[in-house]
Amino acid sequence: MDHINAELWLPTGGHVEPGEHPRTAALREAKEELAIEGEFLHDYPLFLTMTETVGKTAGHTDVSIWYALRGDKSEKIVFDESEFRTVCWFHKDDVPLERSDLHMGRFLKKLYGQ
């Protein structure tokens, strides 16, 4: 998703609510942000990162738990146009790493066993 405030291409995500399991939050955020039903590729997160935010909301630290979800490219993606410029699917080799989360390249390498 081309995130307006971060000024980066970012995966779907958000905050874990009090008492909510991170896996539940990952599925909820996919549903809220993209109107898709996600399905886990793995039962566990592949990555844990800490990142200083950039863009219009710079100045705090995000701790991210990275899960990999399977989606259906044929499903219509409905997204919040006040939060995202646009959304699209990328082939793993075409992710715009120069304008993505700084950990995205490492995540993709781990996901694809490289």
Which SS3 state, helix, strand or coil, does residue 64 take?
strand
Which spans in 1-114 are helix H? 22-34, 104-111
d(CA 89, CA 47): 21
Looking at every residue in the chain, the average pLDDT score rounds to 92
Provide the residue ranges of all domains of the chain, joining segments of one domain with +: 2-111
Res 1: pLDDT: 94
d(CA 87, CA 97): 15
**Considering only the top CATH level, what class is 2-111?**
alpha beta
Segments of the chain with pLDDT less than 50: none
Q: How confident is the model over 44-66, as pLDDT tens digits? A: 999 999 988 888 888 889 899 99
